[in-house]
Structure 1
């Protein structure tokens, strides 16, 4: 049994590294999502003043996740992190309808960036555990996501606090890049 456990451990060692860019407006839940993905405590989160980097092993991949702050004054610096991005994770606060237009504009600008051309986009409709959260389908319609034609994209309802939906989004993202990275 010891040898079998060792072989399983070796087999589960990540054989591919991916650079994941985690963006969205301030207070969307990016850092909470990243901490939940890394199986860390999410009971005390502070706004990101700059960036966080975490490496997470999942599904045979080592995910190097760059969580960049979403405050208005930080957003112009997002472009400094675009190089070699394999997947863009974009987080939206589903309960903050007042900011849907703003987050839609930011996402549109990201999709026009040359360095992100063709990069798959996983959009997390976060905070689905709140009673006033818009469903992912409503957000997709509001942001006119069906007009995205130059890359694969997916919107996934989730709750960064409970973890619900996060793994489904990661699985989708890994499927998009599994044939591209060796």
Structure 2
């Protein structure tokens, strides 16, 4: 009898819990992307005023419930000295969301170097990757196809993993829902590689 009730309780209250890393250089729009994700999936969430967001020093955490799972975001600071901490989170992550400031041509090479170092880390083998070409609302921004040419310049970079790219304006909310929907789908497709944690809320 107990096992039957426990099974029912698990079915009703436990949800699969996953972790997605939001990476990229400082000022790429990572925290804005995170805040828009929380707002678009929970209309009661008021969030932080987007024009008040400052550079992340350390870590921002977000948590959303969608499609029967709990998705936790770790938004990590992108300053050069903070990038050395990224790999501490790789082993626990179920997806990577890499955000690029498409308008910042001067630092595009720096972003590419950080991306290459991240994506070749063995702890991320097979982990789904979403490439977000952010700030597309700025007229001089590079297009998604140009960003892909620069960052995904060979199949060896991606390896055997789920991969998708999206054109976005985190400030306006464009591309955010598509990004989250793809990330959730990719996590579920790859659950055999990285099983979920269990959540009771």
TM-score under structure 2 length normalisation: 0.80
Query: Equivalent residue for 2:91?
Result: 83
| Alpha-carbon contact 2:37-2:180 (below 8 Å) kept | no
Query: Equivalent residue for 2:8?
Result: none
Query: Equivalent residue for 2:172?
Result: 162
In structure 1, C-alpha distance between the alignment counterparts of 2:108 and 2:92, rounded to whole Å? 28
Residues 17/102 of structure 1: CA separation in 2 closer, same or farther (3 Å cut): same
In structure 2, C-alpha distance between the alignment counterparts of 1:35 and 1:88, rounded to whole Å? 17
What is the alpha-carbon root mean square deviation over aligned residues? 1.9
Whichever of the two has the greater Rg, that structure is 2
SS of equivalent residue, structure 1 residue 52: strand
- Unaligned stretches of 5+ residues in structure 1: 1-10
Q: How many residues align?
A: 172
- Unaligned stretches of 5+ residues in structure 2: 1-10, 40-46, 197-201
* Pair 1:107-2:127 in alignment: no
TM-score under structure 1 length normalisation: 0.87
Relative to its length, the structure with more helix (as a share) is 2
| Alpha-carbon contact 1:158-1:166 (below 8 Å) kept | yes
Instruction: Specify which structure has the bigger relative contact order, considering alpha-carbon pairs within 8 angstroms and separated by 6 or more residues.
Output: 2
In structure 1, C-alpha distance between the alignment counterparts of 2:86 and 2:22, rounded to whole Å? 10
